[in-house]
């Protein structure tokens, strides 16, 4: 007979503990354990009798490719790798209030034009969703709507008759399986609810879209376990104060993971932003020291953003290093290279680095743009306002080549730039002939020292600042 058993499960990593402890053995997080009651398992799976024999097949068989279903929202389709794969499970994570429900309701409305869509909300009442639909101008679309949190009811409804092609569950943290005693949102519940829903989706060929909330530290609440269970994980992110939102693919069994979709939150829902560079550079102030335009790539799409640096003599023993939108470790490395290889010491300065517009850069190709912004800030000389910058910085001070030079330069030319600071090796590669095609004047940099040709006063200004500080 099944026996119920109390266990304590870390809500962060899913580690199971037989008794309560303050600190999880698995991930080291404090105070993350929650009590969950489970039915004890029956006979052990290993060494047991009665398992079915698997029929192994050849690796070389012809795979069945399921056609993708484009959602009609180009920015969403790009991130999904072309559209929704039938029977797949997609997790859309993001901070509360970022716009997940808005995006999915808009997608549902588009999809409902030629297929059956179910939208099940555990967070809002039907009337609230209708009100949002009116605001978005999609109230006439044929989305099947329900408000429920009980997985048993949801599975029964989706299983009954013809299943919808896409089912949206908003959100997985509100769903509960009534055979478990723990509260909705706990790891056990999230895992069990997802398992039930995913199993149904695979059986029926329904694509399942789960909404997941993100905790303070950016994890999808409850669980890494959930990320393992689904085929695709998308992150919807953005700064509260800014109107644009970025949809990023973290994991995708059916598509690329480096593509982004860019949206703008407006009064009437999320609008697609086909040309993000223009948006990110819209508020650029020209001829101010400490700013450099980085020509970046997000997947296959070039994105130009402004990197801003502020350098000020520090009153503190340990000067501040504050970074928004880039990696703190990479800033430390860039500062160290500037000091060790170019003799520019910023040890007595507070350094603030910001990627304008709330964008987050992940490419090392931004190193040279960051270095240019820093040196420009110290020297008080603006970077050439008609120039874009990219290149990776090596520890010996060399500027290293980065990928997709041509795409970066073309985008810069399209936006009216006519000059680029790029790695020297780049122009010596076999792509040499292609580069001038973009029509930009190229400043080629072999080492970090070459940057100082543009800012001849930087060293003196830095020394001057240090002296002023000591005086
Ligand atoms: P929502 O989709 O409810 O976020 P989530 O599901 O991720 O919690 O979006 C909520 C925010 O979006 C809310 O602060 C209001 C804003 N919003 C608009 O600016 N315009 C709109 O058309 C809609 C529907 C929402
Ligand atoms: Mg919501």
Closest C-alpha to 330, from 378, 294, 297, 363: 363
Residue 7 CB–ligand 1 contact under 6 Å: no
Whole-angstrom distance, CA of residue 417 vs CA of residue 130: 46
What DSSP line would sit under 435-449, residue for residue?
GGGG--EEEEESBGG
Helical ranges in 380-437 per DSSP H: 405-414, 424-428
Residue 127 CB–ligand 1 contact under 6 Å: no
Residue 268 CB–ligand 1 contact under 6 Å: yes
Q: At 24, is the secondary structure helix, strand, or coil? A: coil
Residue 164 to residues 157, 167, 233: CA-CA distances in angstroms?
10, 6, 21
Residue 283 CB–ligand 1 contact under 6 Å: no
Residue 177 Cα to ligand 1 midpoint, Å, equals 28
Helical ranges in 147-221 per DSSP H: 151-159, 187-204
Quote the pLDDT of residue 334.
95
> Which CATH topology does 279-470 take?
Ribosomal Protein S5; domain 2 (3.30.230)
Closest residue by Cα to atom 14, ligand 1, is: 97
Whole-angstrom distance, CA of residue 27 vs CA of residue 15: 8
Quote the pLDDT of residue 33.
82
Residue 99 CB–ligand 1 contact under 6 Å: yes
Residue 99 Cα to ligand 1 midpoint, Å, equals 5
Say yes or no to pLDDT of 44 above 60. Answer: no
Q: Which of 99, 103, 234, 236 to mutate to test the pocket of ligand 1 (most atoms within 8 A of CB)?
A: 99
Tell me the per-residue pLDDT of 199-252, one tens digit each, with 9 for 90 and over. 999 999 999 999 998 765 555 555 577 888 999 999 998 877 778 888 988 899
Quote the pLDDT of residue 119.
96
Residue 170 Cα to ligand 2 midpoint, Å, equals 7
Ligand in nearest proximity to the CA of 99 = 1
Residue 118 Cα to ligand 2 midpoint, Å, equals 16
Tell me the per-residue pLDDT of 165-198, one tens digit each, with 9 for 90 and over. 999 999 899 999 998 888 888 888 888 999 999 9
Quote the pLDDT of residue 471.
46
Ligand in nearest proximity to the CA of 271 = 1
Residue 96 CB–ligand 1 contact under 6 Å: yes
Ligand in nearest proximity to the CA of 270 = 1
Q: Ligand 1 atom closest to Cα of 269?
A: 22
Q: Ligand 1 atom closest to Cα of 267?
A: 20
Quote the pLDDT of residue 3.
60
Write down the CATH number for the domain with range 74-274: 3.40.50.300
Tell me the per-residue pLDDT of 342-366, one tens digit each, with 9 for 90 and over. 999 998 999 999 998 778 898 999 9
Residue 97 CB–ligand 1 contact under 6 Å: yes
Tell me the per-residue pLDDT of 315-325, one tens digit each, with 9 for 90 and over. 888 999 999 98
Residues having C-beta closer than 5 Å to ion ligand 2: 101
Whole-angstrom distance, CA of residue 382 vs CA of residue 368: 15
Residue 121 Cα to ligand 2 midpoint, Å, equals 9
Residue 122 Cα to ligand 2 midpoint, Å, equals 9
């Amino acid at each position: 007979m099944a026996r119920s058993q109390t266990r304590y499960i870390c809500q962060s990593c899913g580690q199971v503990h037989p008794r309560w402890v303050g600190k999880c053995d698995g991930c080291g997080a404090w105070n993350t354990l929650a009590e969950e009651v489970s039915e004890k398992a029956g006979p052990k799976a290993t060494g047991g009798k009665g398992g079915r024999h698997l029929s192994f097949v050849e690796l070389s068989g012809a795979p069945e490719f399921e056609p993708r279903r484009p959602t009609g929202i180009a920015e969403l389709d790009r991130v999904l790798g072309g559209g929704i794969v039938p029977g797949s499970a997609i997790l859309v994570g993001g901070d509360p209030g970022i716009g997940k429900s808005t995006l999915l309701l808009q997608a549902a409305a588009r999809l409902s034009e030629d297929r059956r869509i179910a939208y099940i909300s555990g967070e809002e009442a039907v009337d609230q969703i209708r009100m949002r639909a009116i605001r978005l101008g999609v109230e006439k679309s044929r989305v099947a709507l329900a408000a429920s949190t009980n997985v048993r009811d949801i599975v029964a409804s989706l299983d009954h008759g013809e299943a919808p092609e896409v089912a949206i569950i908003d959100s997985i943290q509100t769903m509960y399986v009534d055979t478990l005693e723990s509260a909705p949102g706990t790891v056990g519940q999230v895992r069990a609810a997802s398992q039930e829903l995913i199993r149904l989706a695979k059986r029926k060929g329904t694509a399942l879209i789960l909404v997941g909330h993100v905790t303070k530290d950016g994890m999808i609440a409850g669980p890494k376990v959930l990320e393992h269970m689904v085929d695709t994980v998308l992150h919807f992110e953005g700064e509260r104060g800014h109107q644009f939102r970025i949809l990023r693919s973290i994991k995708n069994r059916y598509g690329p993971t480096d593509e982004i979709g860019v949206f703008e939150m407006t009064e009437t829902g999320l609008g697609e932003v086909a040309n993000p560079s223009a948006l990110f550079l819209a508020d650029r102030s020209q001829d101010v020291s400490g700013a450099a335009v980085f020509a970046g790539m997000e997947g296959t799409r070039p994105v130009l953003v402004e990197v801003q640096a502020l350098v000020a003599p520090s009153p503190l023993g340990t000067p501040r290093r504050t970074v928004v939108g880039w990696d703190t470790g990479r800033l430390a490395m860039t500062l160290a290279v500037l000091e060790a290889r170019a003799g520019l010491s910023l040890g007595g300065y507070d350094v603030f680095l910001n990627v304008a517009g709330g964008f987050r850069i992940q490419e090392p190709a931004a190193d040279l743009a960051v270095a240019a912004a820093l040196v420009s800030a110290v020297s008080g000389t603006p970077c050439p306002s008609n120039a874009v910058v990219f290149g990776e910085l090596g520890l010996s001070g060399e500027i290293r080549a980065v990928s997709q030079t041509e795409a970066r330069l073309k985008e810069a030319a399209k936006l009216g730039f006519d000059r680029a600071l790029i790695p020297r090796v780049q122009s010596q590669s076999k792509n040499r002939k292609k580069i001038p095609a973009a029509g930009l004047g190229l400043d080629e940099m072999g080492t970090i020292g070459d940057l100082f040709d543009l800012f001849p006063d930087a060293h003196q200004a830095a020394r001057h600042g240090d002296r002023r500080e000591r005086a």
